[in-house]
Chains A and B, each alone.
Chain A
């Protein structure tokens, strides 16, 4: 079945460092891809999305490009801040047996230190 694989965390960075969180997927068909963020004690929030190959999703300085050839959707940010410390989830939409599902990866914790 369809699935999402994320790099294990935690990812620990100093403020203003460059961030990459890897995400690869397995899917039949052409799913949409998403990144969600979960701040401590809160629910998940949609960060960005891409609905077809070569699309780039972006929001709050974060970017991710839908790469069909490598089945990847890596999250990047040029200069992280302490306030970016959170858990980041890669997800894909999945349609099977006429129902839709959003399948999440296991999450990657990011810790940014001043």
Chain B
């Protein structure tokens, strides 16, 4: 079975450019999460969706970040404009039963470098 698929795996861009990260969750999973991982701050939850609806976006750093889930099989995380401090690995995860069960399935991550 295919796992969570993220693209791109690596992205290098210049400050001020728009960045779009993509995620395809596991089919049948009703929950989708976006996490950011950095050495300084560890793993941070940015936002999560249930049945395509954003449930908690309190972790989104600022207005430069936005996330959408137009259908059950696709989500995007957009950063506009990007800044060097946004450099991190961004993980998408999906879950059949929600975060309380702890059964999150992570993608391989998108490593973003903003110069």
> Interface of A with B (CB < 8 Å)?
32, 34, 41-46, 49, 89, 91, 93, 95, 99-107
Contacts of B98 in A (CB 8 A): 100
- CB-contact partner of A101 in B56, B103, B106, B107, under 8 A: B56
Contacts of B106 in A (CB 8 A): 43-45
Chain B interface residue number, banded: 20 to 34
Tell me if B71 counts as interface (CB < 8 A to partner A).
no
Are B100 and A93 within 8 A (Cβ)?
A: yes
- The B interface, classified by DSSP as helix, strand, loop or mixed, is mixed
Are B56 and A102 within 8 A (Cβ)?
A: no
Given contacts A93-B102, A95-B100, A102-B104, is CB(A107)–CB(B109) below 8 Å? no
Contacts of A95 in B (CB 8 A): 100
Contacts of B108 in A (CB 8 A): 41-43
A46 to B105, CA, bound (A): 8
**Smallest beta-carbon distance B59→chain A, Å:** 9
Contacts of B33 in A (CB 8 A): 102
- The A interface, classified by DSSP as helix, strand, loop or mixed, is strand
Residue among B4, B42, B43, B93 facing the most chain A CB atoms (10 A cut-off): B43
**Smallest beta-carbon distance B21→chain A, Å:** 14
Are A32 and B109 within 8 A (Cβ)?
A: no
Tell me if B60 counts as interface (CB < 8 A to partner A).
no
- CB-contact partner of A93 in B99, B107, B109, under 8 A: B99
Tell me if B45 counts as interface (CB < 8 A to partner A).
yes
Contact indicator per residue, chain B 23-39, by CB within 8 Å of chain A (1) or not (0) = 00000000001000000
Tell me if B55 counts as interface (CB < 8 A to partner A).
yes
